[in-house]
Structure 1
Amino acid sequence: MDLRLVSYFVAVIDHGGVTKAAQALFIAQPSLSQAIRSLERQLGVELFDRSGRRLTLTADGQSFSGPARQILADVERARSKVHEVRDLDTGRLNIAVLSTLSADPLPELTSRLHQSHPGILLSVLDPGSSSGVASRVRKGEAELGLTDLPVKSDTLQTRELWDQEIALVLPPDLAEGLPDPVPLEALKEIPLVLESSGSGSRASIDEAVDRAIGYVAVECAHRQAIWELVMHGGGATFLPRQIAESELRNVVVRSMVPQIRRTVGLVFRPGPLSPAATAFLTAAEAMRQERSPHPT
């Protein structure tokens, strides 16, 4: 059966006649009338009663109207599925990421995404702060945001992933004699190497440690330079424990008392997400379940 003819049949019903349906479909009225006749010949029944001034559905036409709509709906769903597969093969996802999350968990999330959908191009934006991440998503410049939670926004949806411990990372000589874990008051005697004020990672620790900090030896805008300074004895810094233990060498990683933690999550606008964004959320959910503590 010609699906085009089925769609013409439904259009005649919805527009109340051949004339208006032909105008809506941008085809000539005789051509539409001929198409309806062709459909009737294929089905072996009359779909419309033409005895009056207006076309009306026959009993056979009424019986066919429901299946006709179902046929068109099924075809549209199938077409959408094909488009989704195509988009996952060649799609693009813009994501705004807080700089301190670009080393963990972004690489693992990206790896998981590309294992299932290697054709998706991931474009990573660095807005510099949690508020910047939210702003990029709110403006539509990024479809997803990977950031600290909570985010101050009434227009965005959030999905928590997991908590990260923010640990104190020290050269071995600065760690000598310090209790383990390190109390906040001990920070007054420790030279610190921190990102410049207002940066994303600085904001994640300021609230907890500002009043306890006594000596900032270096402020730096470059994360890698901070790591190198700490590894070469220039001072201590704060990093997510997983990054400190996997990326830095010849350092001591200590918890704080009280422990400093932050919640990592995704932000996005309400409404349907693209297939690429949905695939990224699926990868994030699988990673969240693996990182969640399991009962023993």
Structure 2
Amino acid sequence: MEPRAAEYFLAVVEHGGVTRAAQALYLAQPSLSEAIRRLEEELGVVLFERSGRGLVPTPAGRALVEPARRIVADVERARRTVEEVVALRAGELVVAAVPALAVDPLPELAAALRRRLPGVRLVLLDGTAEGVEADLRAGRCEVALTDGPPADRDPLCRHDAGGREIVLVTAGAEELPDPLPRSRLAEVPLVTELGDSWLRAELGEPRTAVECAHRQALWELVAAGAGAALVSRAGAARELPGARTVGLDPPLHRPVVVAHRPGPLSPAVAAFLEVAGLGCGDPQPRAATNACPAGESRRGS
């Protein structure tokens, strides 16, 4: 039974006749009578019988009242849910990020989005640059924070969100100048992260003392003196406030790229771009296949 037919049926039951029900529904009486006739034909039963008081539900009609009410209630509940999502009072946003960007800047972006949209549930995933972009293309997330370069014929919309300064953080007793020439990084035993393809592309194969699979393990290893790590300055200050940080010469900055699929943006994705100070008027790389809807927001720097 269609929701509209259920609504019409219940109106006739509640008002005791077609005339008053049609008035309540702002519907022509013949149209309502025809709708009830079609419903009876569809169900193969007679739903009403005439009495001196108007139309009275038959036993089959009385049996249909509660199922019809559930149908109408379910439709109304679904309508409210959709309205809440569109109004950003509810819903879910899945964001995938490479581990380094999951430490900085994702926490700040997530907090800003939660302040703006307290009813929207955030789901945060992580993985390699290739992995989070594959998740985005496959629809497993709506936004990706990546530091990887675009693939050939890349269909994704990409936004340059600037970069994060990378520093050497250590809890050891090494005597290191600040800033440290990059050429001297080979002297420093490092704790590195599996899958950090950007760091290896920038510096080649560093002198690795420990290679770990989890970002939290990296902080614990550095704190225990197992080696130094190359991380963002903000991440080091938050996670290892007592450790020494040393800048690099020349400075090194990890790019922050916010990516999403082409086409119209969901309200939650548009809000995420806004809190990131980004827009989709000029995604990178620019191409007809990955241009964002014009006028929805502005490009960040």
TM-score, shorter chain, exceeding 0.5: yes
For the residues of structure 1 that align with 2:183 and 2:116, how far apart are their CA atoms?
48
Distance 1:155 1:283 in 2: 24
Q: Which amino acid aligns with 1:151?
A: P
2:193, 2:212 within 8 Å by CA — same for their partners in 1? yes
* Pairs within 5 Å for 1:1-296: 31=31, 83=83, 86-126=86-126, 128-152=127-151, 154-174=154-174, 176=175, 178-196=176-194, 199=195, 202-210=196-204, 213=206, 215-285=207-277
What count of residue pairs does the alignment treat as equivalent? 206
In 1, are the aligned partners of 2:132 and 2:144 still within 8 Å (CA)?
yes
Asked if the contact 1:84/1:275 (under 8 Å) is kept, the reply is no
Deviation at 1:31?
Answer: 4.4
Contact 1:171/1:232 (8 A) holds in 2: yes
**In 1: Cα distance, 2:248 partner to 2:202 partner:** 10
What SS is found at the alignment partner of 1:142? coil
* CA distance in structure 2 between the aligned counterparts of 1:226 and 1:252, rounded to whole angstroms: 15
CA distance in 2, matches of 1:245, 1:267: 27
- Matches of 1:149 and 1:92 in 2, distance apart? 26
Unaligned runs of 5+ in 2: 1-29, 35-78, 279-299
One-letter identity of the residue aligned with 2:258: L
TM-score normalised by length of structure 2: 0.62
CA contact (8 A) 1:130 1:151 kept: no
Amino acid in structure 2 at the alignment position of 1:123? V
Tell me the secondary structure at the aligned position of residue 197 of structure 2.
helix
Shift of 1:87: 4.7
SS at match of 1:160: strand
Letter in 1 for 2:137: R
Considering only aligned residues, what root-mean-square deviation do their CA atoms show, in Å? 2.8
**Counterpart-to-counterpart distance in 2, 1:86 and 1:186:** 53
Q: Whole-Å Cα distance in 2 between the matches of residues 151 and 263 of structure 1? A: 12
Give 1:266 deviation, angstroms.
0.9
What runs of 5+ residues in structure 1 fail to find an aligned partner?
Answer: 1-29, 35-78, 287-291
Q: State how far apart, in whole Å, the 2-side matches of 1:205 and 1:228 are.
A: 20
Deviation readout 1:215-266 (Å, 9 max, x if unpaired) = 3211111211221121221111110111012220332111112222121021
* Counterpart-to-counterpart distance in 2, 1:160 and 1:185: 28
Are the equivalent residues in 2 in contact too, given 1:149–1:262 (CA < 8 A)? Answer: no
**Distance change >3 Å, CA 150–CA 84, structure 1 → 2:** farther
More helix by share: 1
